[in-house]
Amino acid sequence: MSVPIRSIWEKDTPRVHFEAFKGNERTDVLIVGGGIAGLLCAYKLTRAGVNCMLVEAMEICGGITGSTTAKITLQHGLIYDQMIRRFGKDKARLYAEAQEKACREYARLCEHIDCDYEIRDSYVYSMNDRKKVENEVCALNRIGVKADFSDARELPFSVAGAVHVKDQAQFHPLKFLYTIAKDLPIYEHTKVTELMPHKAKTNHGEIPYKKLIIATHFPMLNKHGLYPLKLYQHRSYVIALKNAQNVSGMYVDESDRGRSFRSYGDLLLLGGGGHRTGKQGGCWQELEEFAHKYYKNAEIIGKWATQDCMTLDDVPYIGQYAKSTPDVYVATGFHKWGMTNAMVAADILCDLVRGKSNPYAAVFDPLRSVLRPQLAVNAFESTVGLITPTAPRCPHLGCALKYNRAEHTWDCPCHGSRFTEQGEVIDNPATDDKK
């Protein structure tokens, strides 16, 4: 019997619905995109008394947000030792503080929301590099985060070591988001077809605005900010296992190609099989083979996939969209850690659109240097995609699409757009179906 490709969050949570936009309506802050980042921005702005509006082309939480594994933690891989060496101790400390603040905000909000919020210890492990783990523990302690070395003995295999941080959390993302969304000024099935200075055209009318927040996962304005070069997308896969040995903590491999583990009730959520969107990877087959080896009596009761925008330096882009767009803001590049980074984005952008300073804004500034090694990789992939003579092509910037046999989709290796076999757009930055 085949397992439906749908996250467990979507299976057990009834959607909330909102009407489409009608006519012309003015707003001080327009938010485009109804995922977790856009919703948290709308929530914080509304609570701050700001006149705002959120428009979503389809339904809220219908994209990447509904496919997360929903870990709430300041641990985003083994990044802090590298961050200290790249940016200095102060910026690394501010990044960690921003994440800690986001964790505290979730804890506060979840006291009043039935969303299966649970305190869990977090572990980032390495299969073969103990020294890398030890360096990360030292780095975290240097910037004021309590961390220690662990053998991660809950895992079904041995590891070189893991960085252990106590009192992080996990939750049910859709139960949380549908609750906070209920009273927000949201319009679904309202697609922005054109953005002009201080005016957005939609399929249902025009929306004049003073400030604009683009929270569409991959930014939609190609003419500004160099985002097609500053970002690429990475695809990853999850299976939900019943009758598998569960874990009390949250675990993630420091490698992009490694495994992640967390519990949800009596289920084990196993993640991995990742690859750059449009490239080959292990996909669900890799996870199923792993489960067969380590959890022989387990049953796969669900599976799904997701993808993440990755920046040049592992730090999200949150702030002013481009130098040429002073009233336009962006939140993107969450690097697989959308739960806390979306809350960080809402905190920063809520301040910036009101003309207030924010102590963390400089760390995430989208206008920072692009001179990173990943820039050359992104430029190469874009060039190859453009000169490859095969069809079909992506309507975003014209790259050749690759067929994803695991998911039966057409995927763009340049910027991560995805389409059904019939050509209907699934994931942006493309906004139109392929021809």
What's the N-to-C CA distance of the chain in angstroms? 34
For 169, the token pair is 């959390």
Domain spanning 232-306: CATH 3.30.70: yes
Task: Decide the pairing of beta strands 425-427 and 118-126.
Answer: unpaired
DSSP string, 87-146: H-HHHHHHHHHHHHHHHHHHHHHHTTS-S--EEEEEEEEESS-HHHHHHHHHHHHHTT--
Residue 302: predicted pLDDT: 94
Task: Decide the pairing of beta strands 161-170 and 71-72.
Answer: antiparallel
Instruction: Using DSSP, state whether 154 is helix, strand or coil.
Output: coil
Residue 359 carries which side chain, given as an amino acid letter? P
Per-residue pLDDT of 370-417, as tens digits, reads 989 999 988 988 888 888 887 789 989 889 999 998 899 999 999 999
The span from the CA of 185 to the CA of 45, in Å, is: 11
Please classify residue 14 by burial: count the beta carbons closer than 10 Å to its beta carbon, then call 0-12 exposed, 13-18 middle and 19+ buried. Answer: exposed
For 372, the token pair is 């990173």
Q: How many residues does the chain have?
A: 435
DSSP string, 231-250: -EEEEEEEEEEESS---SSE
CATH superfamily to which 373-427 belongs: Rieske [2Fe-2S] iron-sulphur domain (2.102.10.10)
Task: Extract the residue ranges of the chain whose pLDDT is less than 50.
Answer: 1
The span from the CA of 199 to the CA of 417, in Å, is: 26
Give 137's contacts (C-beta < 8 A, 6+ positions apart). 147, 148, 149, 163
For 216, the token pair is 């569409």
For 15, the token pair is 């959607």
Residue 2: predicted pLDDT: 63
The span from the CA of 412 to the CA of 392, in Å, is: 10
Q: Residue 355 CB: number of other CB atoms within 10 A? A: 7
Reference 176, options 65, 251, 285; nearest CA is: 65
Per-residue pLDDT of 132-184, as tens digits, reads 999 999 999 999 999 999 999 999 999 999 999 999 999 999 999 999 999 99
For 253, the token pair is 């491999």
Residue 245: predicted pLDDT: 93
Give span(s): CATH 3.30.70, the chain: 232-306
Give span(s): CATH 3.50.50.60, the chain: 8-68+175-230+313-364
Fold entry, domain 8-68+175-230+313-364:
FAD/NAD(P)-binding domain (3.50.50)
For 294, the token pair is 């380590």
Residue 32: predicted pLDDT: 98
Reference 123, options 154, 96, 99; nearest CA is: 154
Helix (H) or strand (E) holding 380: helix 373-387
Strand spans (E) along 175-278? 186-187, 192-196, 199-202, 205-214, 232-242, 250-253, 260-264, 267-276
Instruction: Report whether 36 contacts 61 (CB < 8 A).
Output: yes
Q: Residue 321 CB: number of other CB atoms within 10 A? A: 24
Cα four-point dihedral sign 74, 221, 422, 380: negative
Instruction: Report whether 136 contacts 82 (CB < 8 A).
Output: no
43 backbone dihedrals φ, ψ, rounded to 5°:
-65, -50
Per-residue pLDDT of 284-304, as tens digits, reads 999 999 999 999 999 999 999
Q: What distances in angstroms separate CA 294 from CA 265, 283, 297, one per listed residue?
A: 20, 17, 9
